[in-house]
Structure 1
Amino acid sequence: MTTTAVITLAAVLVIVLGVSVLTRPRHSSTVDFYLAGQRVGVITNSWAISGDYLSAASFLGVAAAVYVSGLDGAWYAVGFAAGFVPVLLLVAAPLRRYGEFSLADFLGRRLGSDAVRISSVGVVQLVILCYLVPQSVGGGITWELLVGHGIFGLSPYSTGVLLSTAVIAVVVAFGGMRGTTWNQAVQFLLLFSALIWLAVVLTADGFRYGDAVEQLSQQPLTNPELVDSGDQQSWQLVEETNFIQPEEPAVFGEPGARYGHLGQVALVVTLGLGTAGLPHVMNRYFTSPTGRAARSTTVWVLVLIGAFYALAVMMGTAARDIIPAAAQEHPWLRELTVDGVLRVPEHALPVLGRIYGDEAGLGLVAAAALIAAMSTVAGLLLASAATWGHDVYERHINPRATQRQAVWAGRLTTLVAAALAAGLAIALRPDAYTPAMPSLVATMVTWAFAVAGSALTPVIVLAIWWRGTTAPGALAGMLTGACLAVTMFLTAGMMQPSALRELMAAPTLLAAPAAVLVTVLISRKTRPPASVDAAWVIMHGTAADRQAERLATLTVEERRRRRAR
């Protein structure tokens, strides 16, 4: 471990813990712990949502996917960025106006059903776990490259997983939403600054994106693969298959190196629809003071993440262009590459940082990668706490719980969820990716988007925009989408590369319409909740309508009090 690495890691931990201490909630109320008192401003919340959303899959995974498969890897950036368009148009403002603690709470109250609430809790936890594990994997990968050795007899990878997950679990457990919000805002600014620094030094050194793509496309795209050679396995460069034109070699600047036409569409749809069902992102909208603030926040988020993903695609291309020549000059880089191509594609950004900034550059980029993983882990753990602590413990296990008891229940669940994710992450290895998986981290996150977009997003959108949505319909649609998504991407893992496999690996294109169809068919045969008109006014009525509704409610309550006297 170098002195620079020690200083970098210490600085990151000091910033994270310092922000948590300064912004920790002063009261033990659930509104403060889960929603930061619903007083988070537009700019702060946009930074926090960006920090929450721009995970290790974004910082390490998108650049890695582009590095491995060129243009096909850029579809991850397109899908991730496009996800906030349906959030802006369909979800953000009505969701905040209705006002709850979590997605499960929103669906349970809107549809008047505890069965919907509990089922939503199960689906939300599945999404959180699918998203949480790759963040811990990203932390382990970064520690392994930055530090290179473990503690207490653990491997470097396992050490990184445990330390990054443990630190942020403690931060969330005691900082709540207020501390997490400010942490994520600061972490986003640090993360974005690292990417901008890389872009500036690369451009100053003469890198031009268009020229690099043209040059890389002059030869077939190859990647390292373990190949049996007699009695042992060895790393060799293998040409990628062109899934659109099998008679032609796959090249960096043209589609087909990873997906066919159907696979590209399926991936973008899965990522685009999944965003509106991500609990750690959508829960942040409940912290906005108004529906208008929630919509304005989303506009800012679109601008920020659009710029981020453009830079991530640029960095993945730069790594592919620059690292082969750099491997001839730097002995340390030869250990990570096969004929100039990285064995672990998630190393692309940290390696660029070391090439251009030596140990300090590596420390900066690696710290940003840890920040990306930790920031998203914080949001996921807080979403898990809100789901278990509020939706299950407060409502079903101990309805008479005090505010203090409810907060401690949420804190306990953050630690349990963190331990489970760390254990699963240690069971995986960063070199487990195959030619069908351009980046282990990005691929695993796709599973979370698939479940969210197939099970939660269709039901959330219908509950917001269709009066006829009923609890039995929503329950059947949600379970249909979740079961289809899980079955399809698990089946895809056992299939050979093909158009059908691409569709199965990104299942929302089929699973989401199926969930909508089932929800509509069963809802038409059942009765919507009696409160649907009042809910509609809250979500979609004008300010005057909502004010009249509140006055009417207050009038009815006052009459009841007088009669009771």
Structure 2
Amino acid sequence: MTLASGLTLTVVLALVSVVALVMRPRGTSTVDFYLAGQRVGVATNAWAICGDYFSAASFLGVAAAVYATGLDGAWYAVGFAAGFVPVLLFVAAPLRRFGEFSIPDFLGRRLGSERVRLVAVGVVQLVILSYLVPQTVGSGITWELLVGQGVAGLSPYATGIVVSTAVVAALVSFGGMRGTTWTQAVQFLLLLGALLWLAATVIGEGFHYGDAVEQISTAPLGNPAPDGGLATEPNALHPGEPAVFGEPGARYDVLGQIALMVTLAMGTAGLPHVMNRYFTSPTGSAARTTTVWVLCLAGVFYAVAVMLGTAAREIVPGAVADNPWLDELTVDGVLTVPEHALPVLGRIYGGDAGLGVVAAGALIAVLSTIAGLLLAAAASWGHDVYERHLNPRATQRQAVRAGRITTLVTAGTAAGIGLVLRPEAFAASTPSIVATMVTWAFAVAGSALTPVFLLSIWWRRTTAAGAVAGMTTGVVVVIAMLTAGTVADGSPWPDLLLAPTLLAAPLTTVVTVVVSRSTAPPPDVERSWLIMHGTAADRHTQALARLVLAESRRRRREVRRARR
């Protein structure tokens, strides 16, 4: 590790630690620990959501996918950003008005069923683990490139996973939602600053996006092959022809492109670490305004990531001669690990300090997302399982302690899985292992949770039995399709199998509707509907009606006692 990169990393870790310490929860209640007292402002929450959402898949993965597959990689950027449109239109405001701790908590109360709550906990944990593993992989890749050295006999890759996971788990268990919110907000601003610095530097050196795409597209697109050298990418849209950077078809055919977009757009509304943030907003309108901010920030972020992935594809081959250190990272001028695209650009233009800035940005993305995922896991296990089932008489202190223990267990599990994975093993089959694995988490969320989530918010007849059947169907179908797409050679429609929401989500919806129509809805559905969708005047009237009814009952009791 050079002095500049080491100093950058140390400053970043020290800064987030100080923020977590200063902004730790003041009380020991679960509302403070899991929801920051439900007093998070619009701008702060928007920055924190971006810190949650712009993970290694966004910072490293989108640029890597564009670098490896050209225009097809840009679908990741479009899908990740588009995911907040349905959240804005259908989820943010009613979810916050209903006011719970987590997705399982919302579904359990809305449908009046503890069985729904527990099934949702299982699905949420599967989504969290699927999302956590690629973050640990991203941290290992970044540490390997930034530091290049391991500790305690571990490889640099393994050291990055262990250090980043341990640091974040400690910060989350100590800082809770309040500390995590502010650290994520600061981390996002640092992350965005690193990305904009690199973009400004590249443009200042004469890069022009349109000219670069035109130049790169004059030759067939090639990437490193497992047996050495470069292999020309086949064109999925025009079999028999080579793929080029500036045209679709380097990775996906028409069905694959649609399947990927649907999977990413549907998945966002089912991501527990993102949706839980809406419970921290003070009102439903604040939650909706927060989402508008997030959409604007996402548009800027992903546009810059696509541009930089293109810049790396044009610039790196010509930089090999003047930068001998690139020989170990490239084959015939093409990076063997696409996730190295942004850190390599940073080192080309900024030396070790530039590498430190960009790699620190990547670590920030990893740390911030891991923090949100661990907090979501803590809310799911600590609140939905421990408080309600394992120890219903738990004190607030005991419930918070259970959440903190959960963060450590979940972090250890994700790190263990990440340690057995190597990005190079997937390079030939995926445009970016980090972005691809995150897509699997989106697939589980968008297939098993989002349809049931939306039906529970917008269809009165949704029942507990229907929700359980729908979530179970979604999980089974997604796992079966992902398994088939991953292990079966020559499987038909491989892109659909690896982005299965296009098929799985409609099946989940149909099953939920059919089963719900044959079972009874919860008795208080009208009250829940009014809370989620009624106007402020409606809810005020309802509150007054409850007060009048309570007062009437009190007077009748007094009359009966007087007659005795």
TM-score by length of 2: 0.98
Tell me, in whole angstroms, the C-alpha distance in 1 between the residues paired with 2:191 and 2:90.
Answer: 29
Structure 1 segment 481-520 matched on structure 2, within 5 A: 481-496=474-489, 500-520=493-513
Report the alpha carbon displacement of residue 559 of structure 1 after superposing the two structures with TM. Answer: 4.6
Q: Which amino acid aligns with 1:137?
A: V
Report the alpha carbon displacement of residue 536 of structure 1 after superposing the two structures with TM. Answer: 0.5
Q: Which amino acid aligns with 2:358?
A: V
The superposition leaves residues 265-289 of structure 1 with CA deviations (integer Å, 9 ceiling, x where unpaired) of 0000000000000000000000000
- Residue 471 of structure 2 is matched in structure 1 by 478
- Residue 528 of structure 1 is matched in structure 2 by 521
Alignment of 1:41 with 2:41, yes or no, is yes
Match of 1:288 among 274, 281, 301: 281
Report the alpha carbon displacement of residue 497 of structure 1 after superposing the two structures with TM. Answer: 5.7
Tell me, in whole angstroms, the C-alpha distance in 2 between the residues paired with 1:91 and 1:74.
Answer: 26
Tell me, in whole angstroms, the C-alpha distance in 2 between the residues paired with 1:213 and 1:90.
Answer: 37
Report the alpha carbon displacement of residue 193 of structure 1 after superposing the two structures with TM. Answer: 0.5
- Residue 20 of structure 1 is matched in structure 2 by 20
SS for the counterpart of 1:381 is helix
- Residue 414 of structure 1 is matched in structure 2 by 407
Structure 1 segment 391-410 matched on structure 2, within 5 A: 391-410=384-403
- Residue 76 of structure 1 is matched in structure 2 by 76
SS for the counterpart of 2:320 is helix
- Residue 297 of structure 2 is matched in structure 1 by 304
Alignment of 1:236 with 2:229, yes or no, is yes
Q: Which amino acid aligns with 1:197?
A: W
Q: 1:352 to 1:424 in 2, by over 3 A?
A: same
Q: Which runs of 4+ in 1 moved over 6 A?
A: none
Q: 1:216 to 1:87 in 2, by over 3 A?
A: same
Match of 2:332 among 339, 357, 371: 339
The superposition leaves residues 419-456 of structure 1 with CA deviations (integer Å, 9 ceiling, x where unpaired) of 00100000111212143211111111011000000000
Tell me, in whole angstroms, the C-alpha distance in 2 between the residues paired with 1:556 and 1:485.
Answer: 48
Task: Give the superposed CA RMSD.
Answer: 1.1
Report the alpha carbon displacement of residue 141 of structure 1 after superposing the two structures with TM. Answer: 0.6
Q: 1:562 to 1:431 in 2, by over 3 A?
A: farther
- Residue 419 of structure 2 is matched in structure 1 by 426
Count of paired positions: 558
- Residue 562 of structure 2 is matched in structure 1 by none
Tell me, in whole angstroms, the C-alpha distance in 1 between the residues paired with 2:553 and 2:276.
Answer: 34
Tell me, in whole angstroms, the C-alpha distance in 2 between the residues paired with 1:112 and 1:205.
Answer: 60
Q: Which amino acid aligns with 1:525?
A: S
- Residue 102 of structure 1 is matched in structure 2 by 102
Conservation of the 8 A alpha-carbon contact between 2:48 and 2:185: yes
Tell me, in whole angstroms, the C-alpha distance in 1 between the residues paired with 2:376 and 2:150.
Answer: 30
Conservation of the 8 A alpha-carbon contact between 1:260 and 1:499: no
Tell me, in whole angstroms, the C-alpha distance in 2 between the residues paired with 1:4 and 1:436.
Answer: 35
Report the alpha carbon displacement of residue 478 of structure 1 after superposing the two structures with TM. Answer: 0.9
TM-score by length of 1: 0.97
- Residue 55 of structure 1 is matched in structure 2 by 55
- Residue 561 of structure 2 is matched in structure 1 by none
SS for the counterpart of 1:226 is coil
SS for the counterpart of 1:328 is coil
Alignment of 1:264 with 2:257, yes or no, is yes
Conservation of the 8 A alpha-carbon contact between 1:263 and 1:499: no
Report the alpha carbon displacement of residue 560 of structure 1 after superposing the two structures with TM. Answer: 4.9
Tell me, in whole angstroms, the C-alpha distance in 1 between the residues paired with 2:373 and 2:161.
Answer: 16
SS for the counterpart of 2:57 is helix
- Residue 435 of structure 1 is matched in structure 2 by 428
Q: Which amino acid aligns with 1:204?
A: G
Tell me, in whole angstroms, the C-alpha distance in 1 between the residues paired with 2:257 and 2:81.
Answer: 15
Report the alpha carbon displacement of residue 564 of structure 1 after superposing the two structures with TM. Answer: 6.3
Conservation of the 8 A alpha-carbon contact between 2:485 and 2:491: no
Report the alpha carbon displacement of residue 384 of structure 1 after superposing the two structures with TM. Answer: 0.2
Structure 1 segment 453-468 matched on structure 2, within 5 A: 453-468=446-461
Conservation of the 8 A alpha-carbon contact between 1:91 and 1:461: yes
Alignment of 1:113 with 2:113, yes or no, is yes
The superposition leaves residues 95-120 of structure 1 with CA deviations (integer Å, 9 ceiling, x where unpaired) of 00000000000000000000000000
Conservation of the 8 A alpha-carbon contact between 2:317 and 2:333: yes
SS for the counterpart of 1:211 is helix
- Residue 220 of structure 1 is matched in structure 2 by 220
Unaligned runs of 5+ in 1: 228-234
Tell me, in whole angstroms, the C-alpha distance in 1 between the residues paired with 2:422 and 2:377.
Answer: 25
Tell me, in whole angstroms, the C-alpha distance in 2 between the residues paired with 1:84 and 1:222.
Answer: 34
Tell me, in whole angstroms, the C-alpha distance in 2 between the residues paired with 1:140 and 1:189.
Answer: 23
Report the alpha carbon displacement of residue 368 of structure 1 after superposing the two structures with TM. Answer: 0.3
Report the alpha carbon displacement of residue 495 of structure 1 after superposing the two structures with TM. Answer: 3.1
Conservation of the 8 A alpha-carbon contact between 1:35 and 1:286: yes
- Residue 148 of structure 1 is matched in structure 2 by 148
Structure 1 segment 140-179 matched on structure 2, within 5 A: 140-179=140-179
- Residue 230 of structure 1 is matched in structure 2 by none
Q: Which amino acid aligns with 1:338?
A: V
Tell me, in whole angstroms, the C-alpha distance in 2 between the residues paired with 1:48 and 1:563.
Answer: 51
Match of 1:389 among 377, 382, 386: 382
Report the alpha carbon displacement of residue 334 of structure 1 after superposing the two structures with TM. Answer: 1.1
Report the alpha carbon displacement of residue 6 of structure 1 after superposing the two structures with TM. Answer: 1.6
Unaligned runs of 5+ in 2: 559-564
- Residue 191 of structure 1 is matched in structure 2 by 191
Q: 1:378 to 1:351 in 2, by over 3 A?
A: same
Tell me, in whole angstroms, the C-alpha distance in 2 between the residues paired with 1:392 and 1:496.
Answer: 40
- Residue 87 of structure 2 is matched in structure 1 by 87
SS for the counterpart of 2:26 is coil
Conservation of the 8 A alpha-carbon contact between 2:234 and 2:240: no
The superposition leaves residues 370-393 of structure 1 with CA deviations (integer Å, 9 ceiling, x where unpaired) of 000000000000000000000000
- Residue 31 of structure 2 is matched in structure 1 by 31
Tell me, in whole angstroms, the C-alpha distance in 1 between the residues paired with 2:553 and 2:170.
Answer: 46
Moved more, 553-562 or 493-502: 553-562
SS for the counterpart of 2:112 is coil
Conservation of the 8 A alpha-carbon contact between 2:221 and 2:232: yes
Tell me, in whole angstroms, the C-alpha distance in 1 between the residues paired with 2:263 and 2:397.
Answer: 39
Conservation of the 8 A alpha-carbon contact between 1:262 and 1:499: no
Moved more, 302-311 or 429-438: 429-438
